[in-house]
Every structure is written in C-alpha cells, then in structure tokens.
Chains A and B, each alone.
Chain A
C-alpha cells in the first residue's frame, strides 16, 4: 500500500537515528561518568599520572637499551664473521699458489688432490675429521671450469646481485683488498623459510695465473636475531612489570595519603550535615595527624559557635513569639476601642472619621501581621502540623479564586482558569493549601498590572500541580528564590496596595514543604511570572516531578523556535528537582 511505505521508511530512519542518538548519549554519559570519577579521585589522578610518566620513561629507556644491545650484538657478530672470512680468504689464497717445483708437480700429478678441494675441506670442515662450521662458503671462479665450490645449501643464485656487481667492479679495477658485506634475508634451497644472513664477499686474486676467485661467506644471523628478539621480549616484559609495579607503588603511597584525607572529607561532610560531635582519629605526629588535630579544633569551635548562634536564634524566635503573644492582648483592647471609634465615625468630624478609618485599616493589617508572625514562629518552633484530608484540587482552586475575586475586580484583573475535567484528588491540609493559593493569587493580582491571570491545574499519577501565571513586570534573574524570603520586596520603594505583610510567600513555601511539595517561581522581566505549587497525591510520598512546566508553555515554545536554551532554565522543564532544596 503506497501510503504505508514512506511511513515505514520514515519509522525505520527514525529508528536508526534514535539508535545512533542513544549510543551517542550512552557514550557521552559514560564519558561523563569517567570524567566525574577522574575529577573526584585524587588517587586515580596520581596513579594515572604515574602510569603515563612511567610508560614514557620505560618506552624511552627500553628503546635506548634495545638499540644499544642490538648494535653491540650485531657489531660483535659482524666483527667475528669478518675475521673468520678474512682468515679463510688468506688460507684460500695460500692454497691456490701453484707449487714452484714443476718437476715435483709433474711427478705426482696423478695423485695430487685439487688444492681448492683441500682448502675447502679445511675451511668448511668437510674433511674426514672436520666439524661443521657455523657458516657456508661459496668460491666462484667463472673463468676456469671446475674451480668453483660451495658448502652447505649455498648456490650461486643466493649471492645478492648488488654484492656481486660491486665485487665484479673491484675485479675489473684490480682492487682486490676490498671486502663487501650485506645483511640479507635469503631462502636457501630446501628451506621452508628465509634466513637472516650476513654475507661477506671478497676477492682472492692469484697473481701467477691471474685468476680471480670470488669468495662469499654466508653467516646465519638467526641466532642473533633470536637472541635480540628474546632481549626485546624481556625488555617489554620487564618494562611492563616495572610500569605495573610503579602504578602499584603509586597506588599504595597515595592510599596512605588519600585515606586520611578521605576520612577528613567524610568527617567534614558529616559535620556539614549537622553532626557537630564528629571528630577525626589522630595517629602519630605527621602532617596528616596535624591536619586531623586542626580539623578537630575547627569542628569544636564551629560547634561552639553554632551552638551559640542556635541559642541566640532560639532566643530571637522566642522573643518574636513572646512579643506576638504579648501584643495580642493590648491589641485586642485597642481593636475593641478602634471598632467603637470606627462604628461611631459618622458622628465625628471628617478628619476624626478619616483617622478612625485609617486606624481600623492599619489595625487589621497589624493583626494580620501578628497572625503571620505567630504562624512563622510556629514553623520555627517546629510546631506546625497538618490536618490531612482528601480533597479535589479543583474545588480548592475555585475557593481561592472566589476569595480573590474582590481584589481582582479592584485591579480590573480577569482570571483564566484552566482545570482538568477529571477530579484531582489529593491528600492535603485544605486550609493551608488554600492559603498558599490565595497568597499566590493576591501576589499575581498585585504584580499583574491588571492583566489576565492564568490559573492552571495539572495532575499525573503521583502529583498535582497548580500554576499561577501573571503578565506583570516579572522577576529579575536570581529573584526566583528570593521571593520566598521573609519580608523580601522586589522594589522597596513600592507601596503595598493589598496590605501584604511580606511573610505570605515565606509561609506558603513552609506550607508546601510541610506537605512534602515544592513551591517554585519563574519570571522574566517584561514576561511576567509564574508560581507553581506541586504536591504529592499521597501525603508523605516523595515527589519525582511535576505535571506542569515551571516555565509557561508559550515561553518554552518561543525558546524552542529560537533554539535558545538558557542553562538556568533547563531543569525547570523537567522535574524541578533542583528547586526542592531551600
């Protein structure tokens, strides 16, 4: 079917691309892991450095040694071969001199053995009592028949052509004292493989007859080759062993140093985690022992300071709590008096009436601030508890919006509510979540500059999220976390129009954390801001991600189009895990 073909092909192409992408990702991940291990392990760095340096040293030394041994072994063998060849040529020259007494020669001509045979017997050890020599000899006289001899497997064709040409040149120029050498790989008759052979060539010139004898000596160098091969193998094995030994030594030495450092790091980590009584064991009097001593002193001082600070903080918190509680009683009386004045303001002159109204308003704000302070002090004291109930998040959102509608109308702000059709059941403290949402909505109205506020609810299997998006002035970089600080204000000169205490978002975050959820903010100057509350569906469960993106979808799409991915915003599209630690 024609329509299916391209789709199949596309699917296949996609699959191949996906496989390649997967492989690339895995490789990158593995490289990342290796890089991470490398960066984190001092021991690994030292051992690796030692390995690299020792390999370099061993390679350089081994090459030098190998070359030196090669040169000396070959030079010694060549010298010995040259000596033997020279001695043989002298013997041959001596034997080939015809006897001076012609009469004697004629007399025993019948019994006389060819002098070439005699000298070859001596030279090659092929006589009756001779023993085999380690080399073969070829004597070549191309001018006289029957005056060429060879021992072993050597034939005329085994002589390297270049060597023969050079010898021929010397003979043509009557230069007989020259010796030519060559190292060749020669495969002699009947041999299955070629032999490395040192060929020594010289000319024996018989002056009386004027005959030239080319004398070639073939010294097998396979023993030298085997010896040098063994030496090279030994150098490689010893070098390898040395490298491994050095690596092992480096490992042991660094272990001696790194182990106390590692113990110190673990102790520091435990100290950082709040275990202030963590101390290092002190052994000996070396540098590491002094480090341990210093660490222990530092830990003791730190613990003392922290303890003092904690006490101070406790005193401060207690003071705030006490002041708040203590202020409530006079405030109630003041309030009652203010209520009376407010109720009777119509009887006052306008100035007094306005003062009564102002006092009423500021008292309400004061009460609210006092309530927030008390709430915060409860969190600080660890006394905040949850009243868990299973609720539909859509209802909670509706209620919060209903509470905010009056304010929204005042700011001419409209809500765009985007809720799922299915119920979003979640186990939460209804009151606190509602307070969080109210805070977020009041914030959005205050900073939304009358523009539309989008409230989105999202849910998945594990979590429920509510995002409140405004299109106001937005947040500057770095303000995403600062907004949750107590009494933080983006523009301190700006007046609070809705009478916020400056503690709303701080309390909201505490509420979210108490639920095991996240409260995160996103904002860009001119693009508005978005606050996202994510809560686990089951109380006490760990959050792994959020059903809604922290960055608004339209901003995300715009970024994708422009292929501009700001590193700061990268994690926001994921699970938001980077924001759960406050």
Chain B
C-alpha cells in the first residue's frame, strides 16, 4: 500500500468514526460559540387587533342595529362593504365617511326619539376626543351632541338605517384598538432641531406600522404646527418599501432626493430615525435610507446627535437675588459670574438663554425686563420696558420674549439685533388676557396662560415680516374658582400646570398630544415649577421659608434640595 493510500484509508476511518460518533446523539453537546442576535422579531410592526364587522341580522331590534352600525364604522377603513349592508340605498348614496372622527365613551345609549313620527333613534354618549382629517387628536370632554339615526323597514320588514350623520363614530376602545398616537418629527425654522408633532394614526393590516409612520411623515405636520415647522423631504417623495436586513431597517424612497446637501440628508435621516424609534419601531437598528434601491445614507443606532438639544440641563436658582448653579448633591450651589451672581432683590422671575458660551440671563423687574451676560464684565441692562410684562422666556434662536399685558402685544427682543423690542404678530391673541407666556425648548411651541383658568398652545412661525404666533388652541381650562398659578415646559410633549384650588394646590402633567393629564402629588405649597426631561424642580414655601424641592423619580414624593432662602429654580430655555 502506498503512502497516499494509507493516508486515504486513515482519513476514511476517521470520517467514519466521526460520523458514527455524532450519529449516536440527536443534538450534540457543543459550544460555547458566538451567534448574531440581529434579525430577531419584527422591528417594523406593532401587533394590534381589529374590529370585525358582521352583517346585520334580520332579527335585530333597532338598538342592536345601531350598535352593529357603530361596530361596522369601527371596521369601515378595513372593510367598507359590511357597513353598506346596514343602510338603505338612499343612505348609502348620501352618507359620507369623511370628516372628523368622533370618539365617544365605550358605553352609550340608543333610545327612540320621543314625539318623532319617523322611527328615529338617538345615540347619546360622553365625548372623548375628535380625530381631525389631518390626524390631530383633539381631546374633548362633556356630552357629545346626540346623533340621530332614522330607521326604515325594507320590503322584507327588516330595519335598515335610512339617514345618519356623516363621519365615523368610534368608541374609545375602537380607537385604542386600531389607532396609535404617534410622534412625528419635523424641523424648526432654523432646521437645527426637531419638533414633535403628535398625530393619531390608524394601523393598517396591509402595511407595516413603519410604513404608516413614514407615509404620514411625508404628508407634513398637523394643523397645530402647520407653517411653523418644515421638512426636508421634497415634494413628490414616496415610500417604495420598508424592509429589514441583518441588523438594519432599510427604507427605500423615491423622489427628487439626490440634490439634497449633506446637512439636509442628515436632517432627513434624523426625521425618519426619531419618527420611527420614538414610536418603538426600529429600535436599536441601523437605519439605511435608499433612493430607488441605491444606498443613500446609513445611520448607526445610538448615534449622538443634536436634534433634540435642550440648550443645557443644569438647573439654576436664586438666593437673595443672586443666580446660583445648582450642585448635583445636596447643599448650596455656586453663584454665577457676572452681575447676575451678585445679590439684588429687585430681580425676580429669571430665565436663562442657554448653557452654552454667551449665555444671557434675563430677569423681570418692576419697570421691565433686564438682561446680563454670565461673564465678569457683564452688566445688567434693561431691554424691555413695561410694568405689566409677563415673566421673560427665551427662544432657542437667542431672542427674548414676553407679553405686554398693558398694550396686549407679544414683544420680542433680539440681543444681537441692535435695536429695541419689536412687536410680534399674534392674531389669535386679540382681546385675550395673557398672563404667562412660555416658549418650549424646541423653539416652536408656545404655552400661554390666558386669564386665570385657561392654558392655550400656539406655534411660532416665520412670516414675511418676522416671527408670528399662531395656530392657537386650548389645551386645558379649569373651573372658574380655580387659578392656574404657573406653567412650565417639561419636554417637547408635556407641560406642567400648577393650579390653585379650594382644596389646595394641584400639579398636573399634561400631554399636549392627547390631553392626557397625570396628577403629581404635592406636600408643600409651591410657588413656581420648572422641569426638564423628567426632572421637576419647584420652589416650595414652608413655615421655615422658601426652599427648592425636587420630584422623586417615582413621581410620588418630593425631596428637599436647597434650603433656606433658595428660590426661583429654572433650567435653560423652557
């Protein structure tokens, strides 16, 4: 036997032994070895359930027929054919599903309308919200207007609906089942920060939630932000497909996207990324954008970006009129440099432009609003005069804003503009008594307290003659005997409202998207609140004097931070 043959025989025997050895065990014991976790699950979808409409039965009474019709409305976008079976031909021709969607409580009553010759039934319910055609979710309260359904017997003696109001009528559960409140991200006027727009999107069984989000993103913002925010997606951009790769989500778009410059491309990807990941879609995935199948941009997960920058997250406070930086641990902070760090009891209601270089602090006095740089050579300078000005608030573009209650105008002062304060057009505020004005850290949204009982939201847009305050809508209002004492932006989506009632104080966190209100328990009496991304600070007034307290992370109790004499807590912007 030659050497080659001997080697061949040895290899054959080894292979046979290996085969026989592994054949004895069904699953051989192996490892440890490294595997890739990518690809697990479906990062593009959220499971949801849908109402399935059933055709009306001949033995149903009018009440069941109207309830069946309401259920068919809930399933109408998925299957419009069933709803038509509830209607007479006349009603089918007349009824239109378009318009705002009315959302009512799950429990409602269907009763015959007394004294009506025709067989008319009224549907009475408490209203919950309205979903506008632009997908804006508008919370409502109180009883909804009664909706009348005229019933008619057909040739077989079976009831069908002959007349009904236009538009879909859904219950709260119907909306919870098939709709999702979704954050879409657009760009502010300077295109350097994203602004969130909360819409209510209906989930479609035929497309992924990611596709629904991106398609809606391309349509533009809802009415609350229309004209105030922008998008880098050019007109004609379409979603071709959204799929998953090994560790990535691939968004294939079509449209005139190629001429965009590098900054615009980055903004485009930021809009997509935040609109997906902040809605729990494509979390921790690389996002790859393609244009007609060609690679366009790849964004790794968890990349550090400035798109939700808040201008700093260090809290400040005043002690005997001197602005201090709050330390991380308990104990007094350090006074800032410059005149703001000196004691001066004339100043109150402070606000800081930004934490970056060139930060300016503003404070209200009895004669107006003064500003001073946080540098040793800075000095106080009154820039807006007026005895009835609201507390100053900074916009992220570096301008200082207030409302002159005497003249009923919104004033804006730009420290770099070289001229005095200018009036800002705010047509929606005509005749309103604005008692507080707060510009959110995104630089677009504005919260206004009008009178003592109402909080309104507006948006700042860039008009031909400068900024303009518009898109006003009521966020919340209290009973007349209550009084809204303070408002503060917590983040882009939540506003803190401090209310004084007969029974004591109430601190509410209101979601500006869906109006959801969460009460925060209070112990001491609060004078002022400020907040930033889950961190809430307040000036409490106790028997021992003022002190600054902070809301615990569990949001159930407060912890004392600095006392005594510490007042006016504030974060940059907001």
Q: Within B26-59, which residues are at the interface with A (CB < 8 Å)?
A: 41-42, 45-57
Known interface pairs A114-B106, A153-B205; A141-B54 also in contact (CB < 8 Å): yes
Cβ contact within 8 Å between B107 and A110: yes
CB contacts (< 8 Å) of A149 on chain B: these are 49-52
B414 at the A interface (CB under 8 A): no
Minimum Cβ distance to chain B for residue A115 (Å): 11
Complex Cα distance A126/B51, Å?
13
Chain B residues in 8 Å Cβ range of A50:
none
Among A54-62, A130-138, A561-569, the stretch that binds chain B is A130-138
How long is the Cα–Cα vector from A114 to B78 in the complex, in angstroms?
21
B560 to chain A, nearest CB (A): 35
Query: Which residues of the other chain, B, contact A112 by a CB distance below 8 angstroms?
Result: 106-107
Give the contacting residue for B105; candidates A110, A124, A130, A141; CB below 8 A: A110
Minimum distance in angstroms from B55 CB to a CB of chain A: 8
- By the criterion CB–CB under 8 Å, are B206 and A145 in contact? no
A145 lies within 8 A of B41 (CB): no
Which residue from chain B places its CB closest to the CB of A127 in the assembled complex?
B47
A148 pairs with B51, CB closer than 8 A? yes
- Do A145 and B78 contact each other (CB < 8 Å), given the known contacts A126-B48, A132-B42? no
**In the complex, are the beta carbons of A117 and B47 less than 8 A apart?**
no
A203 to chain B, nearest CB (A): 16
Q: Contacts of A190 on B, CB cut-off 8 Å?
A: 205-207
Complex Cα gap A156–B205 (Å): 14
Contacts of B52 in A (CB 8 A): 138-140, 148-150, 155-156
- Chain B residues lying within 8 Å of A143, measured Cβ to Cβ, are 57
Name the B residues within 8 Å of A148 (CB-CB): 51-54, 71
Say yes or no for A151: interface residue by CB 8 A criterion. yes
Closest chain A residue to B204, Cβ basis: A190
**B518 CB within 8 Å of chain A:** no
Give CA–CA (A25, B572) in the complex, Å: 100
Extra contacts, 20 of them, besides A114-B106, A145-B54, A190-B205 (Cβ < 8 A), are A110-B105, A110-B126, A113-B173, A120-B49, A121-B49, A131-B47, A132-B46, A138-B52, A143-B57, A145-B60, A145-B71, A146-B51, A146-B70, A149-B49, A149-B52, A150-B49, A150-B50, A155-B52, A155-B78, A189-B206
Chain A interface size band reads 20 to 34
The answer, yes or no, to whether A152 is at the interface (CB within 8 Å) is: yes
Of the residues A124, A131, A146, A152, contact of B67 by C-beta under 8 Å: A146
CB distance from A290 to the nearest CB of B (A): 20
CB of A104 within 8 A of chain B?
Answer: no
Asked whether B177 is an interface residue with its Cβ less than 8 Å from the other chain, the reply is yes
Chain B residues with Cβ below 8 Å from A542 are: none
Number of interface residues, chain B, beta carbon within 8 A: 36
Residue of B nearest to A144 (CB): B64
Q: Given A131-B41, A145-B64, A190-B206, are A124 and B49 also a contact pair (CB < 8 Å)?
A: yes
Residue A142 CB within 8 A of the other chain: yes
19 CB contacts below 8 A, A to B, read: A110-B105, A124-B47, A125-B47, A130-B47, A131-B47, A132-B46, A145-B54, A145-B60, A145-B65, A148-B53, A148-B54, A148-B71, A149-B50, A149-B52, A150-B49, A151-B50, A156-B54, A190-B205, A190-B206
Q: Which of A70-118 contact B (CB under 8 A)?
A: 109-110, 112-114, 117
User: Which residues of A have CB within 8 Å of B50?
Assistant: 149-151
Contact, CB under 8 Å: A133 / B47: yes
Q: How far, in angstroms, from A375 to B70 measured CA to CA in the complex? A: 129
Residues of chain B with a CB closer than 8 A to A126's CB: 46-49, 177
| B527 contacts the other chain (CB 8 A) | no
Query: B48: which A residues are within 8 A, CB to CB?
Result: 124, 126, 151
A113 touches B106 (CB 8 A): yes
- For residue B111, CB closer than 8 A to chain A, the reply is no
CB distance from A155 to the nearest CB of B (A): 6
Q: Is B79 interfacial (CB 8 A cutoff)?
A: yes
How distant is A373 from chain B, measured CB to nearest CB, in Å? Answer: 64
Q: Is the CB of A132 within 8 A of B45?
A: yes
Contact A140 B47 (CB under 8 A): no
Q: Which residues on the A side are within 8 Å of B53 (C-beta)?
A: 148
Q: Please give me the residue from chain A that is nearest to B174 by CB atom.
A: A146
A152 lies within 8 A of B51 (CB): no
Shortest Cβ distance from B455 into chain A, in angstroms? 26
Instruction: Answer whether A145 and B67 are a contact pair too, CB < 8 Å, given A114-B106, A117-B173, A117-B177.
Output: yes
Smallest CB separation, B23 vs chain A (Å): 14
> How many angstroms between the C-alpha atoms of A131 and B57 in the bound complex?
36
A191 and chain B: residue at smallest CB distance: B206
Q: What residues of B have a CB within 8 angstroms of the CB of A130 in the complex? A: 47
Q: Which residues of A contact B207 (CB under 8 A)?
A: 190
A131 CA / B64 CA spacing, docked (Å): 34
A119 closest partner in B (C-beta): B49
